[in-house]
């Protein structure tokens, strides 16, 4: 269940600088509060260069979210290394969420933050956000199926809600205790005596 590979628009050093600057500013300040002038200035390029690579601010937002999605799944795959049982893989998902929460100055889930700002459901960024979150749910459902849960789709949805709710709580409280507690709650939803 590898992440979908997408073009991010960052095929040149200038485009990579634009994308890195945009990603940092979008996460720190928000998408609406960040103008293309600030991104171009931080990246050390002109607006013409920015538009040449990404077409528009909307295109850059989508590329930022695609790059974030690819980074998340690459890091998640590292957490999956050596995890063979469904229980271990479920723990890996919670561990990956917690690692992202602890990385740098955590301001909540970048996908959820973007979704609250992108009010147009047809915005290209919404597609990336939906695919990312659907990918999380698909992984969770696979874990629930492997573990022998009677209703894997329902259990996966409960695990997903635990993850997302705990992540929001972690950003509000500035600690990851909620993710630790959510992981404990998720493990209690595994079938009794499950060694999967």
Under the banding of pLDDT at 50, 70 and 90, the label for residue 5 is very low
CATH 1.10.10.60 is held by the domain 8-55: yes
Domain ranges of the chain: 8-55, 62-188
Whether residue 1 has pLDDT greater than 50: no
Is 173 buried (19+), middle (13-18) or exposed (0-12) by CB count in 10 A? exposed
CATH 1.10.260.40 is held by the domain 62-188: no
Percent pLDDT > 90 in the chain is 71
Query: How far is CA 98 from its chain centroid?
Result: 12
Tokens for 36, please give them. Answer: 């293309």
Of residues 104 and 19, which shows the higher confidence score?
A: 19
The whole-angstrom separation of Cα 110 and Cα 130 is 13
Q: What is the pLDDT of residues 53-101, one digit of tens each?
A: 999 999 999 999 999 999 999 999 998 999 899 999 999 999 988 888 7
Q: What is the predicted pLDDT for the residue at 194?
A: 60
The answer to whether the beta carbons of residues 41 and 47 sit under 8 Å apart is no
Is 97 buried (19+), middle (13-18) or exposed (0-12) by CB count in 10 A? buried
Same fold, 8-55 and 62-188: no
Q: What is the predicted pLDDT for the residue at 2?
A: 38
Q: What is the pLDDT of residues 22-31, one digit of tens each?
A: 999 999 999 9
In sign, the C-alpha dihedral spanning 184, 186, 190, 192 is positive
pTM of the model: 0.86
Q: What is the predicted pLDDT for the residue at 6?
A: 41
Under the banding of pLDDT at 50, 70 and 90, the label for residue 193 is low
Q: What is the pLDDT of residues 121-133, one digit of tens each?
A: 889 999 999 999 9
The whole-angstrom separation of Cα 39 and Cα 48 is 12
Which one, of 61, 54, 53, 52, lies nearest residue 34 by Cα? 61
């Amino acid at each position: 269940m590898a992440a979908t590979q997408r073009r991010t628009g960052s095929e040149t050093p200038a485009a990579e600088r634009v994308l890195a600057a945009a990603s940092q500013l979008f996460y720190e300040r928000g998408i609406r509060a960040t103008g293309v002038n600030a991104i171009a200035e931080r990246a050390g390029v002109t607006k013409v260069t920015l538009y040449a690579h990404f077409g528009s601010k909307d295109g850059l937002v989508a590329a930022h979210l695609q790059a974030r999605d690819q980074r998340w799944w690459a890091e998640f795959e590292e957490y999956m290394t050596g995890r063979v049982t469904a229980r271990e893989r479920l723990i890996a998902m919670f561990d990956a969420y917690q690692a992202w929460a602890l990385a740098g100055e955590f301001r909540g889930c970048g996908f959820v933050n973007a979704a609250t700002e992108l009010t147009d459901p047809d915005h290209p960024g919404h597609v990336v956000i939906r695919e990312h979150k659907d990918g999380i749910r698909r992984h969770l459902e696979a874990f629930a199926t492997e573990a022998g849960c009677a209703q894997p789709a329902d259990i996966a949805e409960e695990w997903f809600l635990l993850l997302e709710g705990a992540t929001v709580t972690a950003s509000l409280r500035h600690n990851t205790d909620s993710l630790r507690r959510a992981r404990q709650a998720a493990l209690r939803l595994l079938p009794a005596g499950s060694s999967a």
